[in-house]
Amino acid sequence: MIEYTWLVPFIPMMCFLIIGLIGRKTPEKGGYIAIAGALLSFLIAVAISFEYLTGPKFAAGQPVTESMRWFAIGDYTLNLGYYVDGLTCAMMLFSSFISTLIFIYSIGYMHDQGERKNRYYAEVSLFLTGMLGLIVSSNFLELFIFWEVMGLCSYLLIGFWSFRHHEGDAASANAASAAKKAFLVTRMGDVCLMGGLFIFLNLFHSLDYTTMFANIGEVAAQNSGLVTLALLLMFGGVIGKSAQFPLHDWLPDAMAGPTTVSSLIHAATMVKAGVYLVARAFPLYVMDADVMLFVGIIGGLTAFIAATMALNNMNIKKVLAYSTVSQLGYMVLALGAGGYLWALGYHELGALGFFAGCFHMINHAFFKALLFMGSGSVIHGTGTEDMRLMGGLLKKMKITGMTMFIGCLAIAGIPIFSGFWSKDLVIDVAMAAFQNGTGSAATWFIVLWILAVITAFMTAFYMFRMWFMTFMGEPRENAQHCHGESPKTMTMPLIILAICATISGLFMFFGLGDILAFQGVAIDGVHHGIELFTNPFTYLTLILAIVGIGIAYMMYVKKTMDPGKFNKDGESWLYKALTKRWWFPDLYNQISWKLGYGVAKGVNYVDRQVVDGSVNGLSAAVVGGGDTLSKIQTGHVQDYSTVILLGVSLLSVLVLVIAKLMGGF
């Protein structure tokens, strides 16, 4: 079955074509085709994973990979192929599974979108193609192609409502500019990634994982500077795609798209691609401890900054968006800390960091898909995204409320629920990096650990703030008009995801540590799972999380604590800074106006005046010269013969003179 791995991205691509060409004529405008495609991909992924995980290669800790030559430039050979290892299997399974659920949910959520559904289903199918293709790629060029396919699809889907938005023209313009922002900001990262790939291609003469992973030690020893640069550039791509600080600001704006799209981007595809890239290139990254430290710092900062911005946001989807950014920061932090430890020689802990990052990615996929779809259900019911207009919805939307409650518990890191296991492992790895690190790196990691712990507290607070504001208290404006629970196609995926979000953390007790082993160093999930309960720091984060939930409860349900007291009724400096997103959008605007627009104007000037000018000048000179010279053609035959005669005489004289000079006669 493994030899059919190419089918996994191929099927959604076929769905994209079928829906795009004839989807209009099918029921739900191609929705069922998209679901069938995603489900089929999932089933094939299950079969592949089963065969690989029970096969001899997995037991030997080796990937199954095969590639064919695509083209060669000089002695740079570029291939197309597939690469299946534990990470691939895990990613493939959760991406296709969650996408299937999201597509099913879309049937209900997008039901009233009419003809436009056709475009929607075609684009989400292509989106899934991008993610699955990226996962099964056997080399970085292939990965980069699918990476860009996803970039395109995110642009198209975030801007889905840039025409005829149901809330009017302002919302349309907002969707269009959000799409542009997402596209351009991620593009900055993509350019970096491409630069990194060029350097690697130059060093390795190939971009195949197998070749690169086998030779990295040798190459890194000879060109350590170039490898460091390439790794940093590659991480630039991750910063863009996975919305890490300082390129994180596109993700909250991306909420302008349909909620299902947000769910797809945040849970199953797109932002996971960045983390996946770090995990996939982990053998390269562990060559350089400093780069890994940098990765960890970016991750920790992102986790913290994004969490602060979620604290006071009133938009239900934006809170979730910031929490995604924050959780992505956790994953990157885990990978950075783990890679740092591995680079120092602590292979056991390094592999634990790798495992924690990937594990959190999987858990996050489940609970974030759940939370987004839950918020979609709420928005579907109330017709608004503003939490100030909701409240008391638990009575009207029981399933949505309960499933979202599970999602909140999972993300807040309450034991048994999935987020607890992976998040505390992440925090553990940061602690280990502090304990085993050297010099200033150790200082950095203790700072990052503190940030991570505070983030855990903030996460619990803002998630439950969101839940309490939405589902508890007295029903406000829009909540009063809510017409009850959403249709079955929407609640069924919610229930399934709620179950997954509850149990997916327990996977680590059933061999996930072996599947997500790094270079043969498997994680003993049972051991680490039990160890979490003997670790005092686990109780620290747990208590902080419970305190966070308690504060949220007192502020938004009991009303014994007035949030206005902390922010001086929205007048305090900090509150304003948070609503202004720490001025990042302004910073982006300033940079793009001052720098981008200035450069563009300069380029425009050079293009119009210098490049166009020289070409136009040349052609004008030719035309003018020809015009002038053509006046010589008088039409008088005798003028012509005079010229001929003079010319011939001149030539004869010349020949004579030359012959004389050369010593003839």
Partner 1 sequence: MIPMEYFLILAAILFVIGAYGVLTKHNAIVVLMCIELMLNAANINFVTFAAFNYDIVGQAFVIMSISVAAAEVAVGIAILLNAYKIRKTTTLDDPELTTMRW
Residues near partner 1, by CB under 8 A: 630-631, 633-638, 641-642, 645
Q: How far is the CB of 655 from partner 1 (least distance, A)?
A: 17
Least distance (Å) between residue 663 CB and partner 1: 25
Residues in the chain: 665
Among residues 534 and 630, whose Cβ is nearest to partner 1? 630
* Three-state secondary structure readout of 485-520: CCCHHHHHHHHHHHHHHHHHHHHHHHCHHHHCCECC
According to DSSP, residue 266 is labeled: I
Chain centroid to CA 664: how far?
84
Question: Which of 416, 623 has the CB closer to partner 1?
Answer: 623
Contact 27, 2 (CB under 8 A): no
CB of 638 to partner 1, least distance (A): 5
Q: Which is nearer to partner 1, 603 or 646 (CB)?
A: 646
Crossing angle of helices 7-22 and 116-136, rounded to 10°: 160
Q: Which helix or strand (DSSP H or E) is residue 644 part of?
A: helix 637-661
Closest CA to 269 of 86, 94, 35, 84: 94
Output 560 or 628, the one with its CB closest to partner 1.
Answer: 628
Q: Choose between 222 and 630: whose C-beta lies nearer to partner 1.
A: 630
CB closer to partner 1 out of 440 and 630: 630
Pick between residue 480 and residue 652 the one whose CB is nearest to partner 1: 652
User: In the numeric block, which tokens belong to residue 57?
Assistant: 């290669």
CA 631 to chain centroid: 67
Burial tier of 647 (Cβ tally within 10 Å: 0-12, 13-18, 19+): exposed
Q: How far is the CB of 629 from partner 1 (least distance, A)?
A: 9
Q: Which is nearer to partner 1, 565 or 631 (CB)?
A: 631
Residue 627 beta carbon to partner 1: minimum distance, rounded to whole angstroms: 9
**Least spacing, CB of residue 632 vs partner 1, in Å:** 9
Cα separation, 382 vs 644, whole angstroms: 94
Q: Which is closer to partner 1, CB of 565 or CB of 636?
A: 636
Q: Let me know: does 68 contact 79? Beta carbons within 8 Å.
A: yes
| Alpha helices by DSSP H, 255-288 | 259-263, 271-280, 282-285
Pick 72 or 645: Cβ nearer partner 1: 645
Closest-CA residue to 252 (of 310, 302, 318): 318
Instruction: Give whole-number Cα distances, 404 to 164, 195, 438, 494, 657, in Å.
Output: 31, 42, 42, 8, 103
The answer to whether 226 and 195 have CB atoms below 8 angstroms apart is no
**Nearer CB in complex with partner 1: 54/634:** 634
463 to 426, 468, 540: CA distances (angstroms): 19, 9, 19
Kindly report the backbone phi and psi dihedral angles of residue 32, in degrees, each rounded to the nearest multiple of 5, phi listed first. Answer: -70, -30
What is the C-alpha separation between 406 and 424, in angstroms, rounded?
A: 18
**Residue in this structure with the two tokens 């990096």, named with its chain if needed:** 433
Q: What are phi and psi of 79, to 5 degrees?
A: -120, 165
E strand or H helix that includes residue 79 = strand 76-84
Is the Cβ of residue 74 or residue 626 nearer to partner 1 in the bound state?
626
Q: Closest approach of Cβ 633 to partner 1, in Å? A: 5
3-state secondary structure 31-65: HHHHHHHHHHHHHHHHHHHHHHHHCHHHHCCCCEE
Smallest separation, CB 620 to partner 1 (Å): 19
What is the smallest separation between the CB atom of 622 and partner 1, expressed in angstroms? 16
Q: Which amino acid is at 265?
A: I
